[in-house]
C-alpha cells in the first residue's frame, strides 16, 4: 500500500468540477483517506513548491495556487503514486492522453486542474505539509 498527495487546483474548484474529479479518483480504485479545503497563502504555496523555486514559472505558479481555495487529499492504494499520475495525465493538457483528468479539465500548462506527488520522496514531504497523523484515516 502506498499514499500520495492530490490537490484539486483553483481552476477546477472555481469551475465546480471537484465532485467529478473525486468520482474519477474513487472510480479508479484509489481510496480517499484524508481530505479538506484550504486557501494557501503565497508563502505556503512557495513552501509547497520549493523544488521549483528556481524555475521561470515559480512566481506565476505560486500566485495562481494561492489565488483561491483548493482541495487537498491523501489517496491510498496499490501503486497509488503512479496510478494517480496516470489518471492526471501530462503536465501540459496539449500532451495529455484521452481519458485523463488534465485532458478533460485543464485550461493550460499552469492551470492544469490537479497535482499529484511524483515519487515516494515527494509524497513524504507533501502529505505532512497539509495533514497531521490524526487527520489521516486507515
Q: What amino acid positions are annotated as catalytic residues?
A: 115
Query: Which of ligand IDP, Mg ion, none binds 57 (CB below 5-8 Å, type-dependent)?
Result: ligand IDP
Query: Which residue number, 76 or 118, has a Cβ lying nearer to ligand IDP?
Result: 118
As measured in angstroms, the least distance from the Cβ of 58 to ligand IDP is 8
Taking CB under 5 A as the binding criterion, the range among 26-34, 75-83, 95-103, 113-121 that sits at the site for Mg ion is 113-121
Could you tell me which of 17, 27, 19 has the C-alpha nearest to residue 83? 27
Tell which positions 51-90 bind ligand IDP, by CB under 6 A: 52, 57, 61
Distances, alpha carbon 77 to alpha carbons 12, 19, 22, 31, 107, in Å: 24, 20, 15, 6, 28
Is 118 one of the binding residues for ligand IDP (CB under 6 A)? yes
Beta carbons of 69 and 12 less than 8 angstroms apart: no
Query: Which residue number, 84 or 131, has a Cβ lying nearer to Mg ion?
Result: 84
Who's near 113: CB < 8 A, 6+ residues apart? 8, 9, 11, 12, 17, 21, 101, 102, 105, 106, 107
Query: Which of Mg ion, ligand IDP, none binds 112 (CB below 5-8 Å, type-dependent)?
Result: ligand IDP
Amino acid at each position: 500500500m502506498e499514499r500520495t498527495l492530490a490537490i484539486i487546483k483553483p481552476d477546477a474548484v472555481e469551475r465546480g468540477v471537484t465532485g467529478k474529479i473525486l468520482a474519477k479518483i474513487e472510480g479508479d480504485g484509489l481510496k480517499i483517506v484524508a481530505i479538506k479545503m484550504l486557501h494557501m497563502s503565497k508563502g505556503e504555496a512557495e513552501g509547497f513548491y520549493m523544488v521549483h523555486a528556481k524555475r521561470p514559472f515559480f512566481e506565476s505558479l505560486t500566485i495562481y495556487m494561492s489565488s483561491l481555495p483548493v482541495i487537498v487529499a491523501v489517496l491510498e492504494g496499490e501503486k497509488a503514486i503512479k496510478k494517480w499520475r496516470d489518471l492526471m495525465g501530462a503536465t501540459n493538457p496539449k500532451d495529455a492522453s484521452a481519458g485523463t483528468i488534465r485532458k478533460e479539465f485543464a485550461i493550460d500548462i499552469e492551470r492544469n486542474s490537479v497535482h499529484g506527488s511524483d515519487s515516494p520522496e515527494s509524497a513524504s514531504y507533501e502529505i505532512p505539509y497539509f495533514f497531521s497523523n490524526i487527520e489521516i484515516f486507515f
